[in-house]
Structure 1
Amino acid sequence: MHTPEKLLLENKAWSQEMGAKDPEFFKKLAIEQYPKFLWIGCSDSRVPAETVVNAHPGDIFVHRNIANQVLNTDFNCLSVVQYAINVLAVKHIIVCGHYGCGGVKAALQRQQSNLLVTNKWLMHIKDVYRLHQDELEALEPEKRLSRLIEFNTIEQVQRLAYTSIIQSAWKNGQKITLHGWVYGLEDGLITELIKVEDASSIPTIYQYTDDL
């Protein structure tokens, strides 16, 4: 799998295999998508959303970026969330981090002058570190990385809950559950860290006072 040509050959083989299993598969898939899940994951090539949960095309709406972040200035991510809720009517939004995350590991280190744009992105993870600095610095380096990965995932779920998109959906009666998961590269298993089902746990300063 080292050349684009190889990828194209594998695509052809996959298409033929799926068509042989179900001649109507692509015809049905082309009509519309009805995913119940939005997956916000890391761009890491070792954590493909559909593969690690054994899902099929059409099951999961996916957004990926470095270190699975949800930022209120990232209109790419927010537009995906809004479309998933208002158009696709997903029922669950999963933020999935993973142990051994290179983005989080980089955020634990000093900034590199040749990664000016990436530095700005990772700054948000440094902020998460600062929020939990005392606990993190009391840990061994390897455990510190894993714990920050967990804290980062939890933080992104909370940021989702703070958005007007999610709060508006909840006010309008949409049953949307937010999940924070972490994936283990060494065993392929997923652990749930946090689940938020309504606005009851949102601190007052993040709540909207007017009708959304």
Structure 2
Amino acid sequence: MKNIKFMCNDLKHSFNKIIEGNKEWMDFVKNDTSGRFEQLAKGQNPEILWIGCADSRVPANELTGTKPGEVFVHRNIANVCVHSDMNMLSVLDYAVNVLKIKHIIVAGHYGCGGVAAALSRNQFGIIDNWLSHIKDVYRLHAEEIDTISNPEKKADRLVELNVEEQVFNLCTSSIVQNAWKNGQPLAVHGMVINIASGELIDQNCTFTNNESLGNVFSFE
């Protein structure tokens, strides 16, 4: 707090909004009579793992109408789920094997800047290495995507396909495979957010077992 006096006025103002917002939240918690915050202080028991984009416009709780403690959340640029990402895998492992969540939702959104960047030939810096995962999704579906002339619609279609591919990646992870093998009830869903309407659109790519993943992906 000592260093706040060295901030320029704009930074100080935006920082103070955070502090004031927290005070309002503390007052809300203090005056809540439901007892839920006392329960939350003792632990969490969510049924949903939400893997979404880091975009500031797509917060999980607001979109799903859920309360604190009901959704376990992991977010990154363009909701990518790859088997080399230890951050995502650690969240997935904890959610599945410790919290025993019942649903995993991969949530993309229309107007995703990461997906649009992946469709371009521009360089953006270190993030280019991350965007290469989305470029791989484009490579798998280039024939379809290249038939779309409108750039916005092209990006939106890649958003949908990216969600489907990330769902598949989760389903082929050892964590999800072993949960199914052990008889744990677990569903993996793909959804896309329409920011303008707030709608969460089911992409009809839900998996509850490994039977339709293909032989090489269905562990015994």
TM-score, structure 2 length as denominator?
0.91
State how 1:10-29 maps to structure 2 within 5 Å.
10-22=21-33, 24-29=35-40
1:124 aligns with 2:97: no
Which ranges of 4 or more aligned residues in structure 1 deviate by more than 6 Å? none
Output the amino acid matched with 2:134. Answer: I
Where 1:201 maps in the other structure, the secondary structure is coil
Which residue of the partner structure matches residue 159 of structure 1?
Answer: 169
Q: Do the aligned partners of 2:108 and 2:160 also contact (CA within 8 Å) in 1?
A: yes
Backbone CA RMSD of aligned residues: 1.4
Q: Distance in 2 between matches of 1:151 and 1:3?
A: 37
Partner of residue 88 from structure 2, selected from 50, 64, 77: 77
SS of 1:158's equivalent? helix
Q: Are the counterparts in 2 of residues 19 and 25 from structure 1 also a CA contact under 8 Å?
A: no
CA drift at 1:23: 6.3
**1:3–1:201 distance in 2 versus 1, CA, 3 Å:** same
Q: How high is the sequence identity, in percent, across the aligned residues?
A: 46
Matched letter for residue 79 of structure 1: S
| Matched positions, count | 207
String of CA shifts for 1:170-205, please: whole Å, max 9, x gaps. Answer: 000001000000000111101110211111111112
The structure having more radius of gyration, on CA atoms, is 2
Mean CA deviation greater in 29-38 or 2-11: 2-11
What does residue range 126-141 of structure 1 map to in structure 2 within 5 Å?
126-140=135-149, 141=151
1:100 alignment partner in structure 2: 111
**Contact kept in structure 1, 2:148 and 2:154, CA below 8 Å:** yes
Q: What's the CA shift for 1:157?
A: 0.3
**Separation in 1 of the partners of 2:34 and 2:188?**
36
Q: Who is 1:58 aligned against?
A: 69
Q: 1:90 aligns with which of 101, 105, 128?
A: 101
Cα distance between partner residues in 2 of 1:82 and 1:148: 28
Write the letter of the residue equivalent to 2:145: L
SS in 1 for 2:162: helix
1:49 alignment partner in structure 2: 60
Query: 1:28-79 CA distances to partner (integer Å, 9 max, x unpaired)?
Result: 1110100000000000000011111111110000000000010100000001
Q: Distance in 2 between matches of 1:5 and 1:204?
A: 56
1:170 aligns with 2:177: no
Gap runs ≥5 in structure 1: none
